[in-house]
Structure 1
Amino acid sequence: MTQPVTRGVISSQDTQTALWFLGVLSQVRVSGEQTGGAFSLTENLARRGNGSPVHFHDDEDETIFVLDGDLRVFAGEEEHTAGPGTVAVLPRRISHAYVVTSPTARFITLHMPGGFEQFAAEVGEPAQALTLPPAPAVPPDLAALTETAARHGITILAPPPQP
């Protein structure tokens, strides 16, 4: 069980981490380490067709808040269109995924407890600039991704949905 945040956390852009993670620019605005494991908050920028594999988290609840653009969000057996202002709450152990359906989309992800950013750092790489990464020439190796995800309490069930 995570502990509540017991001290103020001020995270400025010059101390935040930026990753290129599975075709997304992910800026870790607040890490789990900063909050004593309570939560992490990431701002993401992705292009049309980018999506997460269908997966679930053993120990984390995930919330997506769409700032700009459009996503299709899958939660269990449900599928929803998610435009600006939409919030999707995705409880642990419920399969979920998203796919970007607009030219680009910007969205916040909140993971409670924190730690998802450690998986993103292991799979991704430090961003060379605060821009979208180059489009990947080939999709990620789903078997390797599944193996790495499992070490972080994430079960990958299927490839990303199509736009």
Structure 2
Amino acid sequence: MSQSVVITQPETTLARYNIALLGEETSEQLSLRVQNVKPGEGTPLHIHTDQAETFHVISGTFRFRAGNDELTGGPGFTVHIPKNTPHSFIFEDKANNGQLISVLTPGIHDGFIRNIPEAEANGTSMEELSQMAETFGAKIIGPKLTPKS
């Protein structure tokens, strides 16, 4: 595969559920999302069987579960999660939205970041989301984190 410079405009990123770069655009080197997260939102506990995931907090306070550890971080906080490591996050702030960058390496299984957020927004059941995730190299293995009071 030839490599070339990739530029994504903000409108494109927003139109595809905040995906700034797809693996198919980076010769499968990485996929990158810039997520705007509402208070109390997060992901269920899951693993990626073929990819590592790195999160970087832009704004707000996020709590992560990575393996057996729970970590909390604000702007500038970064956590790298190796493949096959159970992980999830929740946005802890109560008033404003937060922003988080996530990078999946290598950039394979674009269907996961393309289809799961849209399906979740459309009210797809957790069972159906689990089945869908497995077709894209991920397994949902537990519930979402709950907000701390």
Same-fold status (TM-score > 0.5)? yes
Matching residue's letter, 2:70: E
Q: Which residue of 2 aligns with 1:95?
A: 86
Of the three residues 103, 111, 114, the one matched with 1:110 is: 103
Q: Which residue of 2 aligns with 1:11?
A: 7
Residues 72-124 of structure 1: CA deviation (Å, up to 9, x unaligned)? 01101100111000001011001000000013210110000113542232234
Percent identity, aligned pairs only, is 28
Q: Tell me, yes or no, if the aligned pair for 1:19 and 1:124 is still in contact at 8 Å.
A: no
Is there any run of 5+ residues in structure 2 with no aligned partner, and where? none
Output aligned runs, 1:14-53, within 5 Å. 16-18=12-14, 26-53=17-44
Give the total of aligned pairs.
145
Q: Tell me, yes or no, if the aligned pair for 1:142 and 1:159 is still in contact at 8 Å.
A: no
TM-score (structure 1 length as normaliser): 0.79
Is there any run of 5+ residues in structure 1 with no aligned partner, and where? 21-25, 126-135
TM-score (structure 2 length as normaliser): 0.86
More divergent stretch after superposition (7-16 vs 90-99)? 7-16
Larger helix fraction of residues: 2
Could you list the structure 1 runs, at least 4 aligned residues long, displaced by more than 4 angstroms after superposition. Answer: 136-140
